[in-house]
A and B are shown apart, each in its own frame.
Chain A
Amino acid sequence: MIDIVNSDTGSCEKRQSAGIMRGIGGIFAVTLMTTVMATGADAAQNLVRSSAGAQPVSIVPDQSRPIEEFHDPLEPVNRVMFAVNDGLDFLVIRPVAEVYRAVLPSFVRRGIGNFLSNVATPITLANDLLQGEWLRAETTMVRFMLNTTAGLGGLDDIAGRIGHPRHTEDFGQTLAVYGVPSGPYLVLPIIGPSSPRDAVGLVVDLLADPWFWLLADEDTLTRLAPTAVRIIHARSNAIESLDSIRETSPDYYASIRSLYVQNRQSEIRNGRDDELPDIPDVSR
């Protein structure tokens, strides 16, 4: 924290830096929560961090590394935190998401989703490049240029319709590609499913997000607005999916954990099925 006081103007840069730190914490928390809520959504989209195996860190990105099994040594604590987050979702997030969906027609919501994806392009592009994914970086750039211009600032995903599909990358995935183990499965307060590696990745992405710095001088509510919209939008797309999982799963916590871990592994492998679990051939 910078401890500087401008005696001439009476303004206090110390307060500003403190505000930024609070902003970082707040946006971090909300972003993580978005991750959690988006995680369970849609029958297991998003989330799911996987590690690249307990191997020494290498500077050579290698997405073909064997995926280590996740481990949940903190399960009792994680379950408590999961219940707390679930309560928060029930009381606040889901009701707001339901109103969002009821008020806005689907084409408007689709436009909002497209716009949010478009503004997240810098993060995806940076991590495409860090992972040496040149073709995917090219696609990201083409998407951004097309959708920003012909797509009315990103409201319309024109690029997706003409053969440039959307994908996402983040620093947690980059760390995985570089061989950094994920560490134990964690359920963080408000944030939800995560891991030490991916929590670090989220902070880095947060600080690398241009919106974070563009809104640095604004009040807290304004700074949190983009993340809040992202959370609500993701939650609105996941209402039925999460309900279904909750009603049909013998263990909702275990389901969300599995969905999260698997989805993350898939993200890190860019959707490739390098390995499949061995399902035995059994006769009845």
Chain B
Amino acid sequence: MQTVVTVDKYRGRAAIGILAGALIALTMIATPLDRASASAGAEAFVKKVAGNVVSTIKSGGSDARQLSRFRSVFTSNADIASIGTFALGKYAKQLPSSRRSEYFSLVEKFVTKVFLSRMTRAAVNTVEVKGSQTFGKDEVVTTNVAFTDGRPDLVFKWRVRRKGGGYKVVDISVAGVWLAVEQRSTFVSVINQAGGDVGALLSYLRQQVA
């Protein structure tokens, strides 16, 4: 009896070992496939967003109309809450919860205005997706941007992450400079110069988007 029980125990352990090995093997196979799928999805998303940005720039029209169209593109595709929180830097926890909604709305309008201003002045002509790279939970999609005024092409990188069933842009790099990092530097500087008063930043943003 004891011998039979021993053999069954070993068979059970063997079965568990085989099952575990199979699961590990499947994970190893599935992970690269998941990554490839994530990269393809991120690249397709950036291609769509970049295309919308370029067509908005090229569509012309009044400044207000362009701004409105661009804001629509930005609102739909950017993770404003994450970007806005990041931009506060060390002061993020000092933003009262009662003012979060107002702050995110101001950031949305301000960043839209800034980005559109910089892109239209840059005379963007085409944006071509070149590839992507995974960084933790985010994908960084590399694009090549060509201009109409004869200046050299620039590399734009789009940092995107899965959110709400799709993708959202959390940052954009132009020639090695991440715009959210720059935004954080200036926002923190404004608050620093106001003696740590986050309200000073909100006042500034209200003036800029008025």
8 Å CB interface, A222-281 against B: 237, 240-241, 243-245, 247-251, 253-255, 257-259, 262-263, 265-267, 271, 273, 276-277, 279-281
Whether A267 contacts B137 by the Cβ 8 Å rule is: no
Number of B residues contacting the other chain (C-beta, 8 Å)? 54
8 Å CB interface, B142-171 against A: 149-152, 154-155, 157, 159, 161, 163, 170-171
Query: Closest Cβ of chain A: how far from B207's Cβ, in Å?
Result: 10
Binds A, one of B3-11, B45-53, B180-188: B180-188
Query: Closest Cβ of chain B: how far from A47's Cβ, in Å?
Result: 10
- Is B85 part of the contact surface with A, judged by Cβ < 8 Å? yes
Nearest-CB residue, chain A, relative to B138: A276
Chain A residues whose C-beta falls within 8 Å of the C-beta of B178 in the assembled complex: 262, 276-277
Chain B residues whose C-beta falls within 8 Å of the C-beta of A259 in the assembled complex: 177, 182
- Is B121 part of the contact surface with A, judged by Cβ < 8 Å? yes
Chain B residues whose C-beta falls within 8 Å of the C-beta of A241 in the assembled complex: 118, 121-122
Chain A residues whose C-beta falls within 8 Å of the C-beta of B173 in the assembled complex: 273
**27 pairs of residues in contact across A and B, judged by CB atoms under 8 Å:** A43-B118, A44-B174, A45-B175, A48-B176, A106-B150, A110-B150, A241-B121, A244-B118, A244-B122, A250-B186, A250-B208, A254-B188, A255-B185, A258-B177, A258-B182, A262-B176, A262-B181, A263-B176, A271-B176, A273-B140, A276-B138, A276-B140, A276-B159, A279-B83, A281-B82, A282-B82, A283-B81
Which residue numbers of B lie inside 8 Å of A, CB to CB? 79-86, 100-101, 104, 113-114, 117-118, 121-123, 133, 135, 137-138, 140, 149-152, 154-155, 157, 159, 161, 163, 170-171, 173-178, 180-182, 185-190, 193, 201, 204, 208
Q: A109-B150, A251-B193, A255-B185 are in contact. List 7 more A-B contacts (CB 8 A).
A: A42-B151, A43-B118, A107-B150, A244-B122, A247-B117, A254-B188, A258-B177
Which 10 A-B residue pairs are closest in the complex by CB-CB distance?
A: A266-B176, A106-B150, A44-B177, A258-B185, A254-B189, A240-B121, A248-B114, A284-B81, A282-B81, A258-B182
